[in-house]
Amino acid sequence: MNIALIAHDRKKDDMVRFVTAYKFILEDHTLHATGTTGLKIMEATGLSIHRFQSGPLGGDQEIGALIANNKMDMVIFFRDPLTAQPHEPDVTALIRLCDVYAVPLATNMGTGEVLIRGLERGDFSWRNIVRGKTSTNIVSEP
């Protein structure tokens, strides 16, 4: 699965702790992140992460393009709802794209944990069908 990891400035430490806690699950997937968030995660965990620009410089839009092209399977975006963001229209567009393309989205740690545990169980195998791929985890009817 392709998973995007994004965190606003005041939530970056939370994201690092989250990824560190679930490294054993995330290391089996392809990880993407906005610039600074990705760097902090890589430094703390040693995980390989494809890094985009930082959010305000277009990273949210780069991830949004992957969503619109059906190449992103999950987004974990720890938002800071108490701080105005200079790129709020980009954030809103990213969340909208997740809704339009039925991409699972967590905007806080609680929902992130639910998605990660579902990922661990294989609950997101349906994304392979959406992308037109088959998987041994998908059971077909006779």
Q: Annotated active-site positions, please?
A: 60
Q: What is the DSSP letter of 132?
A: T
First CA to last CA distance, the chain: 26
**CA–CA distance, 135 with 4 (Å, rounded to integer):** 21
Give the CA dihedral 134, 27, 12, 71, nearest 10 degrees.
Answer: -20
- List the one residue out of 61, 60, 12 whose CA is nearest residue 38: 12
b (16+ CB within 10 A) / e for 107-124: bebeebeebbeebeeeeb
